[in-house]
Amino acid sequence: MKDASEKDIIAGGKGECSEDDRIEISPVARIHTDFGEKYGIPRQAGVVPDLRGEIVFTPEFRDENCLRDMEGFDYLWLIWGFSGNRDRGWSPTVRPPRLGGNKRVGVFASRSPVRPNYLGLSCVRLIDIRKDTENGTTLIVGGGDLMDGTPIYDIKPYVPYSDSKPDARGGFTEDQWPVLEVVIPRELEMKIPPDKRKALRGVLSQDPRPGYKRNDTGVHGMVFGENNIRFAVENGVLRVTAVEEAEKVGRK
């Protein structure tokens, strides 16, 4: 009779999955951001460094010892759930926005949210560790790409000596992503909180429109913080046409 470890090796070699391989995970925290909906969220973490988010831990993980020595790291890895896509199922191939939303690649050759286990991975900058808030110790992070209320399942430090691969190839992502010129009339920009204006410009410069609508010159809208931002794009220039009040629709 084979022992358990040998059985696991044999099953793993065949690519099979046993009940022992299944796990249940629960959030250790949630992140709060200015994105109350999926539309407009940067397609990758780090491309809009001025964005801010606050990570609030669930009561079970508010022990400060969980964060001991974290202040020595500049960046963190967040392992989180695509909670806004679970009703869509998954497909072996997906259409990345960078390829115009038309060409398909393998799901495991992409970072598409439509994937088997709905897990996301983001590298964010650790801006501040805030102690003694009403929610215990929280983390302020920059450059995120997460919707408000997204569950965080684990947090790990970014370790430069092992995580940085400057000579790595980037596949289809090596094609340069166009950055738009952003024009916001002063009277509209005044409606946006001063501490959020630079981040908003960064988000808009990345062209929030779906890849398949990259040539659409019509008016689009996205929720950012407490505002609904309406804009149109033509000849590489994004012009904001309206800034309206909007309810924050993220999940708490």
Transcribe 53-68 into DSSP letters. Answer: EEEEE-GGG--GGGGT
Does pLDDT of 24 surpass 80?
yes
Model confidence over 123-180: pLDDT tens digits?
999 999 999 999 999 999 999 999 999 999 999 999 999 999 999 999 988 777 789 9
Residues of the chain above pLDDT 90, percent: 70
Determine the structural domain holding residue 134 and report its residue range: 23-82+118-164
Q: If pLDDT is split at 50, 70 and 90, which confidence band does 20 have? A: confident
Average pLDDT over residues 219-242: 96
Q: For residues 3-26, give the mean pLDDT.
A: 66
Cα-based angle 201, 188, 34 (whole degrees, multiple of 5): 45
Report the SS3 class of residue 152.
strand
Same domain, 41 and 122: yes
Better-predicted residue by pLDDT, 10 or 23: 23
Lookup result for tokens 């398949």:
212
CATH assignment of the domain containing 202: 3.30.2310.20
Whether residue 52 sits in one domain with residue 148? yes
Can you give the CATH number for the domain in which 45 is found? 2.40.30.70
Torsion angle of C-alpha atoms 43, 44, 46, 47, degrees rounded to 10? -40
DSSP-derived letter for residue 203 is H
Phi then psi dihedrals of residue 15, to 5 deg: 75, 20
- Residue 170 counted as domain residue: no
In a domain, 65, yes or no: yes
Are both 72 and 127 inside the same structural domain?
yes
Number of separate domains in the chain: 2
Query: Average per-residue pLDDT in the chain?
Result: 89
* pTM across the whole model: 0.87
Same structural domain for residues 29 and 68? yes
Measured CA distances, 31 to 63, 88, 107 (Å): 17, 23, 25
Q: Is residue 150 part of a domain?
A: yes
Whether residue 149 lies inside any domain: the answer is yes
Q: Is the same domain home to 122 and 66? A: yes
150 and 210, same structural domain? no
Rounded to 5°, the CA angle 122-243-124 comes to 10
